[in-house]
């Protein structure tokens, strides 16, 4: 029997599910290896079916999602968080630092009818997660690697290296040193293929924090380039704003870097 | 006297749309008493957390509103901010933005036709199931989708949340050899796009003519993507900055998507509206290929939306080839010069007009912003269509048939719910 796989959507932009839908013909190959049982965007609706692997896209941000994520855990052998929202709360976790009620009132005429939690939170804050795939968005290679490893019964490799290593391997000009750009490469996880530096632009940390980072030193380097504390804070508080140590570093610079 | 039954159906999650929602349908005898499409995508409050951000962060932030159409968000935003800063990046950037947009239309439309919509017309639950019976058609569709992604990657390094666009232009100019290699692949796919239009035109669709107002951008001499004036099938002709004078958003309590109206009436945006209003702006070979199918446009059959998407795939491919044929690298951007001001951007996202207003301060930070995505604009029209289509279909059908028909009607709009907003439980109540 083929392993059964589900893809669940929570609060998100749907972009990480495209890691499946953008595979092209490999998607057909993949469906020969596994049986997709729940993947609403692809037409399969069977949310509570027992599965071997459940991919979860999106953060938990409503009372209904809190209840749903518990059911996902109950019905799944492995739970894999797919992307920045599921793994770190996503860009929408920016509201965790604000008064959600006031923001709602700024967008909706009748905020009282909107059911939303004050915080947008990652999946691991609600249930045990077996593998976290970082990235905004994750790419197809990450998904295929995870599926292949789990199918082979091997523990998937957690790629926690810094982006800088990937950038060096590709012989790309250093955006931080050569151009004085506020590049997040020294503290950001590898996995994207060092795309931003390949275009000559600074990394903005969409793959989340790497292992053993020194965010304090990087923040001070940015200050040395002439960036003001608010700009440095916003560097850390972007896509993965709720992930440590980005969160703490950003908050520190909001308070002038002391 | 009509038979009176109490039936409640609860269908979890409308399949093959991007997002989630519920349809409440209350039928009394032979009449729809209440019909509400409830969209409950959790609000993510982008407009609020953009406030105070520097202009450099904006393209990367707004892209995250929608993973299916990030280019559209980036393009509406950079146009609005450049207007606020009074910048004109010039013709090279203009051409490359059009090319970038062609990529998004190709990938998004090909995804919708093959993975989301066609299974409806051919009676399959999923595209994977459809692929067993129609392997060549599905493979062709996935190939066109991939070409769209390849165009986006040429300029943006990746196709979902691309990283190449900036206020003032692009971070880099593609290398001529990369542009040439892509051009060769696009040329080779032209017969595929032509065949796709013929195939979609041959799909069995319901004959469902209805009266609705179309709204799109319009340009003097090209099919609209990044710029233009707002026009409607009822004679509206408006500068995008005046959008708020005629278009109104209101918060229906049953949904987290704000509804929109044009002079207090529902209206349609997206491929069918665009094609109906811009038939004379299609490149000649694209128009010729469409006319050869025998399907006449402008069309008031909503189910011709799928064909309109196929025509726009052909159009986008044709345009991308034209733009790449003249390609030469140039300075890819002009430096931004922040100043306080207000700017507007309106572009044709795959699902229809995407309107942005940005107010910036003198340091180039966002003071406030107003974003109106296409699906929110279509929501009132979808409800109107459901009312009509379900009545025409026959309310005495079994609940399961009613649900399938409702899903088909909704899916036809390619609602990208995450933009605004989630998708379909059907709560059917009958008396």
B341-358: average pLDDT: 96
pLDDT digits (tens, 9 = 90+) for B365-402: 999 999 888 888 888 899 899 989 888 888 888 888 88
Measured distance CA(B135)–CA(B128) in Å, rounded: 9
Chain B residues touching residue A120 (CB < 8 angstroms): 44
pLDDT at A108: 67
- pLDDT level of residue B423 (50, 70, 90 thresholds): very low
**Is A195 part of the contact surface with chain B (CB cutoff 8 Å)?**
yes
Shortest distance between the Cα of B30 and any Cα of chain A, in A, equals 30
Q: Is B11 left (phi over 0), alpha (psi -120 to 50) or beta?
A: beta
On whether both A117 and A228 belong to a single domain, the answer is: no
Please report, for the domain that includes residue A91, its CATH number: 3.40.50.700
The total domain count for chain A is 2
CA distance A155 to chain B (A): 28
Angle between helices A229-236 and A215-224 (to 10 degrees): 140
pLDDT at B176: 98
A146 and A188 together in one domain: no
Domain final position from A152, A171, A189: A152
DSSP per-residue codes, A19-44:
HHHTSTHHHHHHHHHSEEEEEGGGTB
Distance from CA of A172 to the nearest CA of B (A): 14
**Cα radius of gyration rounded to whole Å, chain A:** 19
pLDDT digit string, tens, across residues A168-211:
999 999 999 999 999 999 999 999 999 999 999 999 999 999 99
Interval A146-174: pLDDT, tens: 999 998 999 898 999 999 999 999 999 99
pLDDT score for B411: 84
List the beta bridge partners of residue A78: A53
* B125/A43 CB distance under 8 A: yes
Query: CA of B146 to nearest chain A CA: how many angstroms apart?
Result: 7
Contact A201 B18 (CB under 8 A): no
SS (H, E, C) A70-116: HHHHHHEEEEEEECHHHHHCCHHHHHHHCCHHHHHHHHCCCHHHCCC
B182-207 residue pLDDT tens: 999 999 999 999 999 999 999 988 88
Same domain, A147 and A19: yes
Instruction: Choose among B398, B392, B352: nearest CA to B372.
Output: B352
CB A142 within 8 A of CB A191: yes
Percent of chain B at pLDDT > 90 equals: 63
Find the domain containing A183 and state its range: 163-254
Per the CB < 8 Å rule, is B256 touching A108?
yes
B171 closest CB neighbour out of A200, A206, A231:
A200
- What's the rounded Cα separation, in Å, for the pair B382 and B423? 13
Q: Give the A window 143-182 contacts with B, CB below 8 Å.
A: none
A190 and A62 together in one domain: no
Q: What is the mean pLDDT of residues B93-118?
A: 94
What are the two backbone dihedrals, phi and then psi, of residue B204, each rounded to the nearest 5 degrees?
-70, 115
Question: What are the start-end ranges of the E strands in A108-213?
Answer: 131-133
Residue A51 located in a structural domain:
yes
List beta partners, residue B248: B261
Residues 104-143 of A with CB under 8 A from B: 104, 106-110, 113-116, 120, 136-137, 139
Q: Which residue ranges make up each domain of chain B?
A: 21-43+377-430, 52-212+279-373
Interchain pair B251, A110: CB under 8 A: yes
Instruction: With respect to residue A157, please indicate whether it lies within any of the assigned structural domains.
Output: no
Q: How far apart are CA B49 and CA B201, in angstroms?
A: 44
Mutation to test the A interface, candidates B42, B54, B136, B410, most A Cβ within 10 Å: B42
A45 reaches B (C-beta below 8 A): yes
Helix then strand count (H, E) for chain A reads 12, 5
CB pairs under 8 A between A and B: 178
Q: Which residues of B222-231 are buried (b: 16+ CB within 10 A; e: fewer)?
A: bbbbbbbbbb
Class of domain B52-212+279-373: mainly alpha
Q: Is the dihedral of CA B116, B120, B126, B129 positive or negative?
A: negative
Task: Say yes or no to pLDDT of B278 above 90.
Answer: yes
Exposed (0-12), middle (13-18) or buried (19+): which is B246, by Cβ within 10 Å?
middle
* Average pLDDT score over residue span B136-150: 95
Distance in Å, alpha carbon of A257 to nearest chain B alpha carbon: 18
Which of A47, A94, A95 comes nearest B12 by C-beta?
A: A47
Mean pLDDT by groups of 10 residues along chain A of 258 residues:
93 93 85 90 86 97 93 97 98 88 69 77 97 97 93 90 96 95 97 97 98 97 96 97 97 78
Domain boundary among A121, A152, A183: A152
Question: How buried is B240 (Cβ within 10 angstroms: 0-12 exposed, 13-18 middle, 19+ buried)?
Answer: buried
Whole-number Å distance between alpha carbons of B316 and B313: 5
Three-class DSSP category at B51: coil
| Least Cα separation, residue A79 to chain B (angstroms) | 21
Q: What are the φ/ψ torsions at residue B388 (nearest 5 degrees)?
A: -70, -50
Domain boundary among A98, A126, A152: A152
What are the Cα distances from residue A5, in Å, to A51, A139, A147?
Answer: 6, 18, 9
- Residues with Cβ within 8 Å of residue B132, at least 6 apart in sequence: none
Q: What are phi and psi of A119, to 5 degrees?
A: -125, 145
Integer distance in angstroms from the first to the last C-alpha of chain B?
12
Question: Are A40 and B158 a contacting pair at CB < 8 A?
Answer: no
Contact B229, B278 (CB under 8 A): no
A-chain residues within 8 Å CB-CB of B163? 195-196, 199, 201
Q: Which of A43, A106, A107 is facing B15, going by the closest CB pair?
A: A43
CA–CA separation, B263 and B272 (whole Å): 20
């Amino acid at each position: 029997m083929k392993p059964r796989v589900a893809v669940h959507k929570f609060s998100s932009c749907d972009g990480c599910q495209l890691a499946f839908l953008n595979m092209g013909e490999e998607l057909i190959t993949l469906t020969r290896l596994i049986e997709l049982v729940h993947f609403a965007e692809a037409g399969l609706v069977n949310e509570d079916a027992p599965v071997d692997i459940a991919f979860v896209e999106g953060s938990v941000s409503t009372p209904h999602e809190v209840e749903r994520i518990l059911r996902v855990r109950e019905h799944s052998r492995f739970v894999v968080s797919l992307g920045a929202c599921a793994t770190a709360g996503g860009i929408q976790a920016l509201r965790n630092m604000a008064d959600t009620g006031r923001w709602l009132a700024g967008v909706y005429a009748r905020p009282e009818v909107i059911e939303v939690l004050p915080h947008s939170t990652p999946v691991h804050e609600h249930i045990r997660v077996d593998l976290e795939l970082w990235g905004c968005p994750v790419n197809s290679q990450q998904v295929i690697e995870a599926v292949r490893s789990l199918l082979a019964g091997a523990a998937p490799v957690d790629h926690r290296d810094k982006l800088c290593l990937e950038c060096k391997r590709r012989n790309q000009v250093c955006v931080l040193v050569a151009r004085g750009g506020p590049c997040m490469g020294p503290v950001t996880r590898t996995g994207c293929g060092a795309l931003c530096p390949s275009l000559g632009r600074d990394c903005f940390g969409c793959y989340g924090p790497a292992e053993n980072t020194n965010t304090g030193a990087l923040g001070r380097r940015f200050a040395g380039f002439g960036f003001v504390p608010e700009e440095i804070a916003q560097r850390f508080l972007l896509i993965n704003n709720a992930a440590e140590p980005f969160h703490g570093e950003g908050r520190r610079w909001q308070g002038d870097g002391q | 006297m009509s038979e009176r039954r109490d039936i409640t159906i609860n269908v979890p999650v409308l399949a093959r749309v991007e997002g989630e929602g519920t349809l409440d349908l209350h039928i009394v005898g032979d009449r729809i008493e209440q019909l509400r499409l409830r969209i409950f995508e959790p609000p993510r409050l982008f407009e609020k957390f953009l406030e105070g951000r520097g202009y450099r962060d904006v393209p990367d932030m707004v892209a995250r509103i929608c993973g299916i159409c990030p280019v559209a968000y980036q393009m509406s935003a950079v146009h609005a901010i450049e207007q606020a800063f009074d910048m004109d990046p010039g013709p090279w950037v203009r051409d490359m933005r059009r090319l970038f947009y062609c990529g998004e239309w190709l990938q998004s439309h090909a995804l919708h036709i093959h993975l989301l919509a066609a299974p409806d017309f051919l009676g399959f639950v999923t595209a994977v199931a459809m692929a067993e019976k129609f392997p060549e058609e599905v493979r062709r569709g996935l190939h066109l989708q991939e070409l769209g992604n390849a165009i986006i990657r040429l300029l943006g390094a990746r196709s979902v949340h691309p990283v190449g666009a900036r206020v003032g232009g692009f971070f880099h100019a593609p290398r001529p050899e990369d542009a040439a290699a892509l051009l060769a692949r696009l040329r080779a796919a032209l017969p595929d796009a032509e065949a796709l239009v013929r195939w979609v035109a041959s799909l069995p669709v319901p004959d469902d003519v209805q009266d609705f107002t179309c709204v799109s951008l319009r340009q003097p001499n090209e099919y609209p993507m990044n710029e233009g004036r707002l026009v409607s099938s009822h004679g509206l002709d408006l500068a995008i900055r005046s959008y708020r004078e005629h278009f109104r958003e209101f918060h229906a309590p049953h949904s987290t998507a704000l509804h929109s109206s044009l002079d207090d009436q529902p209206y349609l945006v997206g491929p069918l509206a665009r094609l109906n209003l811009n038939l004379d702006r299609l490149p000649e070979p694209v128009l010729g290929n469409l006319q050869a199918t025998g399907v006449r446009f402008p069309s008031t059959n909503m189910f011709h939306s799928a064909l309109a998407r196929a025509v726009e795939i052909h159009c986008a491919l044709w345009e991308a080839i034209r733009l790449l044929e003249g390609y030469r690298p140039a300075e890819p951007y002009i430096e931004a010069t922040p100043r306080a001001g207000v700017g507007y951007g309106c572009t044709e996202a795959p699902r229809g007009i995407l309107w942005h207003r940005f107010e910036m301060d003198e340091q180039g930070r966002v003071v406030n912003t107003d974003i109106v995505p296409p699906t929110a604009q279509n929501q009132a029209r979808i409800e109107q269509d459901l009312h009509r289509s379900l009545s025409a279909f026959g309310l005495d059908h079994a609940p399961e048939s009613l649900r399938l028909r409702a899903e088909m009607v909704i899916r036809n709009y390619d609602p990208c719910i995450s933009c605004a907003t989630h998708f379909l439980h059907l709560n059917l109540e009958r008396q």
